[in-house]
Amino acid sequence: DAKTTQPPSMDCAEGRAANLPCNHSTISGNEYVYWYRQIHSQGPQYIIHGLKNNETNEMASLIITEDRKSSTLILPHATLRDTAVYYCIVRPPGAGSYQLTFGKGTKLSVIP
Amino acid sequence: EPEVTQTPSHQVTQMGQEVILRCVPISNHLYFYWYRQILGQKVEFLVSFYNNEISEKSEIFDDQFSVERPDGSNFTLKIRSTKLEDSAMYFCASSEEGGLVTQYFGPGTRLTVT
């Protein structure tokens, strides 16, 4: 799987948009970008994933650059409950490898 | 909304004892996983399981570990002879299919080996 690079920590004011970057410059054409988060030692929670196009769901938006070498997870109106470690994971589709490889992620602190 | 459940939430055991961690995956899911997270460290993959067989395992998943789906709903992780370094959070996950499909995680079992 391609390696990802994320800043170790970020702060965001409550109610503002949180923009979490991820660099995956070695991503290959069939690899998807996944985002998970982990709130204080709870189980990782799926947020969103995408391949080429930008994606949006009820939790967040995912913006992938045209060259696919980086992406940004956007939480449009951060709340205190969004304080968590956010993981960007790149993995290929299909059979052969089922595991998710978690890095250190970005610790997002939402500040009142 | 369907969710993965795990029991117990916290297990304390003495070194050398056997422990069984239990998980109930989401009912229509076919692929099951165990991960662990030692305090302050990354979440690490242990094993994936499909059709009553291990489909993939990591180097961590050595002979002291085993997994089983004893009935239609439970998925278990057994650690035969626990060591101090087995102390960690253990997370179960499940997915509808393998490969690309999203994995949904349970809340975890905190295992403390004394």
Q: Which residue of A has its CA nearest to B36?
A: A43
In the prediction, which pLDDT does A2 show?
62
Task: Pick the residue of B41, B103, B104, B112 with the most A CBs within 10 A to test the interface with A by mutation.
Answer: B103
Q: Is residue A94 within 8 angstroms of chain B, CB to CB?
A: yes
Specify the pLDDT at position A59.
94
pLDDT of B23 strictly over 60: yes
Q: What are phi and psi of B58, to 5 degrees?
A: -95, 175
Whether A70 and A20 have beta carbons less than 8 Å apart is answered as: no
8 Å CB contact between A80 and A22? no
Q: What pLDDT shows up at residue B2?
A: 82
Contact assignment for A45 to B105 by CB distance below 8 Å: yes
Place of tokens 């109106």: A77
Are B107 and A43 an interchain contact pair (Cβ–Cβ within 8 Å)?
yes
Tokens standing for B15?
Answer: 């070194």
Rounded mean pLDDT of chain B? 94
pLDDT band at residue B96 under the 50/70/90 scheme: confident
Torsion of CA B58, B109, A60, A79, to 10 degrees: -140
Banded pLDDT at B97 (limits 50, 70, 90)? confident
Which tokens go with A97?
A: 């490898």
- Name the DSSP letter for residue B102: P
pLDDT digits (tens, 9 = 90+) for A49-90: 999 989 999 999 999 999 999 999 999 999 999 999 999 999
Q: In the predicted model, what is the mean pLDDT of residues A79-105? A: 87
Of B35, B93, B108, the CB nearest to A42: B108
DSSP for residue B84 = G
| A104/B42 touch (CB, cutoff 8 Å), yes or no | yes
Q: Identify the closest residue of chain A to B39 by CA–CA distance.
A: A41
What's the pLDDT at B15? Answer: 97
pLDDT for A95 beyond 60: no
CB B94 within 8 A of CB B34: no
Beta bridge partners of A34: A49, A89
Integer Rg of chain B from CA = 13
CB pairs under 8 A between A and B: 59
DSSP bridge partners of B37: B43, B89
- Single-letter amino acid, residue A33: V
Given a cut of 70, is residue B93 above it in pLDDT?
yes
Chain mean position to CA A70: 11
Question: What's the mean pLDDT when you consider all of chain A?
Answer: 92
Return the SS3 of B58.
Answer: coil
Please list the residues that pair with B88 across neighbouring strands.
B111
Minimal Cβ distance to B104: which of A46, A91, A102: A46
Share of chain B above pLDDT 70, in %: 97
Contact B31 A98 (CB under 8 A): yes
Question: Residue A72's pLDDT is what?
Answer: 98
* Three-class DSSP labels, chain A: CCCCECCCEEEEECCCCEEEEEECCCCCCCCEEEEEEECCCCCCEEEEEECCCCEECCCCEEEECCCCCEEEEEECCCCHHHCEEEEEEEECCCCCCCCCCCCCCEEEEEEC
